[in-house]
Amino acid sequence: MEQFALIASDRGGWLAGWGTLMLINAGLAQGKNRSGLLWFLLSALLGPIATLILVVLPKVRAKMF
């Protein structure tokens, strides 16, 4: 129980911030017609670097057929 309290107190803000960034990146990716799930998972690994990549990448054109 003591370990859970340590995680909640020391890393809680960091985990909440990283999780929020993952959700923001997924939404940003979907807005550019890219896979939200893929970018959600990439954001878990890359974090702010994934955000930078998403901002720089152009929007994917929707397929006609």
Distance CA 46, CA 25 (A): 11
Q: Mind listing the pLDDT tens digit for each residue in 40-54?
A: 999 999 999 999 999
Question: Is 35 domain-assigned?
Answer: yes
Residue 7 vs residue 64, higher pLDDT: 64
Domain residues for 24? 14-65
pLDDT in tens, 3-40: 666 555 666 778 888 999 999 999 999 999 999 999 99
In a domain, 5, yes or no: no
pLDDT at 13: 77
Give the predicted TM-score (pTM) of the model. Answer: 0.76
Evaluate whether residue 53 is within a structural domain: yes
Say if 2 falls within a structural domain.
no
Domain count, the chain: 1
Q: What is the DSSP string of 9-60?
A: HHSHHHHHHHHHHHHHHHHHHHHTTS-HHHHHHHHHHHTHHHHHHHHHSPPP
